Structure 1
């Protein structure tokens, strides 16, 4: 962990950057589906309602014990941003509201406590703000005072009446639990995993927006739709699918890989392309099963029972395709039978699912490869004489 006492520590700033999209996600889940979300447009986050009303939010994650006082820069820097928007959107004709979300607490004696009240007295706020600014000699406050002077008293009263401070906003590590309370259709022990997947998708969406890969605003409905889709993965007849586009790190060595399941495919004289896809399926299935196990999504012995099911079905089809293979059969006949058995496993086993709605093919194909890679002896094999060849290679009598 970083040393928060070091003068070089940027822990709080780092938390602040991560806090912004996380809090925006929490807030979005509370908004109507017709709302639009903009990230880093006119403020940290901006919500636009269907009738055109706009809420600009400044999001601040502060150190434990931080307090907002009359001249806190978090407030006045936000005011400066909001003034620009207020001016360009028509001043008193503007439809904008301005919100400061901060984990800090407003000091009891500060005039800023007025901004925590939804019933706003704009004239009083403007008068007290002017008095507070007059006590400062800082360059920043001086610039803000000059910018405020461009507005008449009615405009300032209107502007200040639009501001709300949400103090003691949930801290960054509290947000997953608050989102979890909105996931009541999902069993409690799975909510953390669901939040992580939702947040991963959300962060990717924010990055696309900030880098310009996505030009249109984010629809709140997109977030609700994604949440509903992810939540379906945690029902009793389904499991999350997370590796359908993942590849192993580094290069895939279809010609030099020495694992048993790969050697089995070479014994069938398969092309390097087919072997490469088999290595990918093995990787995806292995990583997926590990992910399910880490998230405690599997019931007792579920993987073992699934593997037993595949082994039995493999045995049935092997008995069929190898019915005419005898001790006198030539290797060409064995390769033909083995290829047919492997073709069946690749293309005709989609119905052999670990759960009814887990239809991704890499799960079953990859599990066959995991079984073919079992030690000390593979639980499934393709070439009818592969076990004999393996025994000879290991110097063990078949």
Structure 2
């Protein structure tokens, strides 16, 4: 059975990302509302209004020259003006579409900047739809807007803008969140969380028979909370687990970098060597990703390494004093176990399990530390 329900659902749902977009564009004391003064509207602190109607389609352009969506929108705006709900001189009229299409009347209206261009747009409209029959479904809207209220239409066109988005309407939202200096790795989390919050607020208001209004102040508080949470959330493991058959693991084993030679010096097993390679590779990738996504910076990374170095030095001294009965390889193994078991945080966050042993292996590779009691003689800098 055919149904247009998916298209209708998209039509309602797209108002949420559009409301989010306008909240991102708003300022102190502004309010954004859904289904109060049109689909989405922003009432500015200075009394000006941005009234937006959202038109969407799953397959095609919803704003063709003869589309009901276009002419009914203009009709509704005029009705709101005539009933004093909207002041035409203090309102910006926005028509949003999630699909682009052939250049037509709506594009002429949007690009008209002055009275002469507005007049040319009207002339084009009358010429294009000059043969429109009264039986056509848009006739009553077209007749009211163009034939009976031309002067008011001219005022609307002068304050009219067409905005074209894509798909579900989130592209502009992503761009605005990025403009807030949010790292790329955090954009989706913040956008999804804010969109869910807006839906919750609007639905609760509707259920309570309240107007669906969100103030800039409420939005600002939510944005700041999510921004802080996102930084905590993003200290995640960006890596896959490198199995012992992985090409990069095998390549490390073949090359035998210094950190592996240090492990061989304390007679680690093949299985332990492979695990060390995995930790080393994963820690290296994560550190790069965290810095790239601005989750941490070079100073934070250096501080983390300094704390690991301090712990290594203290454990090394303790083992030298308390574990004299052990052989040199056993002392080195014990030191490695202690260091790999160290619990250390990065910006008060617990990193993935591979981070601490992997960072120790990177330090051993330089070499800034070692495991064998005589590592400095065995592996001179």
TM-score (norm 2): 0.54
Name 1:346's counterpart in structure 2.
Answer: none
Q: Which runs of structure 2 are paired with 1:1-398 in the superposition (5 Å)?
A: 7-8=2-3, 10-66=5-61, 68-89=63-84, 94-108=89-103, 110-117=104-111, 119-120=113-114, 121-137=117-133, 138-148=135-145, 151-167=148-164, 169-172=165-168, 174-175=170-171, 177-178=174-175, 180-182=177-179, 184-185=181-182, 187-215=183-211, 217-235=213-231, 238=232
d(CA) in 2 for partners of 1:62, 1:80: 21
CA distance in 1 between counterparts of 2:112 and 2:143 reads 27
Higher helix share: 2
- Count the aligned residue pairs: 241
Deviation at 1:231, TM superposition (A): 0.9
Distance 1:22 1:225 in 2: 18
Mapped contact 1:76–1:141 kept (Cα < 8 A):
yes
Q: Deviations over 1:245-300 (max 9, x none)?
A: xxxxxxxxxxxxxxxxxxxxxxxxxxxxxxxxxxxxxxxxxxxxxxxxxxx9x99x
CA contact (8 A) 1:99 1:166 kept: yes
| 1:73-94 Cα distance to aligned partner (Å, 9 max, x none) | 2211211211112212388864
Q: Is contact 1:59–1:102 with CA below 8 Å preserved after alignment? A: yes
Normalising by structure 1, we get a TM-score of 0.52
Q: Give the Å deviation of 1:172.
A: 1.2
Whole-angstrom CA distance in 2 between matches of 1:15 and 1:153? 33
SS of equivalent to 1:181: helix
RMSD of aligned residue pairs (Cα, Å): 3.6
CA distance in structure 1 between the partners assigned to 2:35 and 2:199 by the alignment: 14
Q: In the superposition, relative to structure 1, how do residues 56 and 355 fare at CA in structure 2: closer, same or farther (>3 Å)?
A: same
Match of 1:57, SS state, is: strand
* Aligned residues of 1:35 and 1:50 also touching (Cα < 8 A): yes
In structure 2, list runs of 5 or more residues that go unmatched: 235-289, 297-344, 350-381
